[in-house]
Structures are given as structure tokens and as C-alpha cells.
């Protein structure tokens, strides 16, 4: 019973982290990640809200925590883990390629405002945290599913 509780905590942390990441991404209109952060952020919020609401509506504690390591939750966590690492790679390539605070998007030179440089650093940090969280959620979910299948 003690083991699934980190899954609940990781989902809550991921929810807060995703909200912060989407707000920071809005400051540069999502250009740093070529709009991958907001897109994956919306999918992540849907995942977190769905699991947290399903957990909240369950009456039995043992059944409620099984929500976090259901087949769908584990597979979706793996997909989101892949999405967050791709967003990080995109951000790295965009930050590496932009000379003097501009980026060429579809033959349009977009100038980054000076104040977003610091928020973009935070975006890098939060995106890597999201990747780590969802990688951990997926791995823990698989391990817990195997343990429960073996115990039955």
C-alpha cells in the first residue's frame, strides 16, 4: 500500500510543473520549443487531471491507488515521457541555432524579447524535470503492474 503513494505525489508535482511550464512558455509564445511545450503540456494536464479525478472519486484506498498504475496510465506516461524528451531536444536545437536572440520560423525572423532569456532557462529545467517524472512514472507503473500480477 505504501508503494503507489509516490505515483500520487509525482502526479501532483507534474500537474504544478506543467502549469508553470505552460505559463513560462506563453512568455515567448512557445517559440523556444516550436510550440511543443504547450502542446505536450495540454496532454499532460489532461493526463494528470484525469488520474487525479479518478483517484479522488474512488472510495476504497487500495482501489484508488490502482488508477496510477493501470495499463492506460503506464502507456500514456511512456508516451508523455517521449514527448517531453522530444520537446527538450527541440528546445536545445532552437537555442543552439538562434543567433543574437532571433530564430527563423517558416522564413520569418522572430526576435526573442530580452526578458525571456531567464524564463527560457527555467523552461529547460522544468522540461527535463517533466521527462524525469514521466520516465519514473512509467517505470514504477510497469514494476507495480508486474508485482501485482505476480501476487495474484
For the question of whether the overall pTM of this predicted structure is more than 0.85, the answer is no
Average of pLDDT values for 42-57?
A: 90
Q: Round the average pLDDT of the chain to a whole number and report it.
A: 82
Predicted local distance difference test score (pLDDT) of residue 60:
67
Would you say residue 101 has pLDDT above 50? Answer: yes
Least confident range from 24-38, 65-79, 126-140: namely 24-38
Count of domains forming the chain: 1
CB 78, CB 138: distance < 8 Å = yes
Cα–Cα distance, 48 to 38 (Å, whole number): 15
CB 54, CB 128: distance < 8 Å = no
The residue segments making up the domain with residue 146 are 5-151
Would you say residue 38 has pLDDT above 70? Answer: yes
Predicted local distance difference test score (pLDDT) of residue 1:
44
The pLDDT tens digits for 81-90 are 999 999 999 8
Q: For residues 60 and 12, which has the higher predicted lDDT (pLDDT)? A: 12
Amino acid at each position: 500500500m505504501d508503494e503507489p503513494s509516490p505515483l500520487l505525489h509525482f502526479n501532483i508535482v507534474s500537474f504544478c510543473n506543467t502549469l508553470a511550464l505552460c505559463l513560462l512558455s506563453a512568455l515567448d509564445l512557445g517559440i523556444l520549443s516550436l510550440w511543443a511545450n504547450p502542446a505536450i503540456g495540454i496532454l499532460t494536464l489532461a493526463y494528470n487531471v484525469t488520474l487525479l479525478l479518478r483517484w479522488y472519486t474512488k472510495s476504497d484506498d487500495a482501489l484508488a491507488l490502482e488508477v496510477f498504475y493501470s495499463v492506460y496510465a503506464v502507456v500514456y506516461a511512456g508516451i508523455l515521457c517521449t514527448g517531453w524528451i522530444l520537446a527538450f531536444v527541440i528546445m536545445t536545437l532552437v537555442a543552439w541555432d538562434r543567433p543574437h536572440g532571433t530564430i527563423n520560423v517558416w522564413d520569418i525572423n522572430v526576435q526573442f524579447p530580452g526578458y525571456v532569456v531567464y524564463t527560457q532557462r527555467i523552461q529547460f529545467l522544468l522540461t527535463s524535470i517533466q521527462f524525469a517524472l514521466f520516465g519514473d512514472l512509467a517505470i514504477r507503473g510497469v514494476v507495480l503492474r508486474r508485482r501485482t500480477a505476480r501476487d495474484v
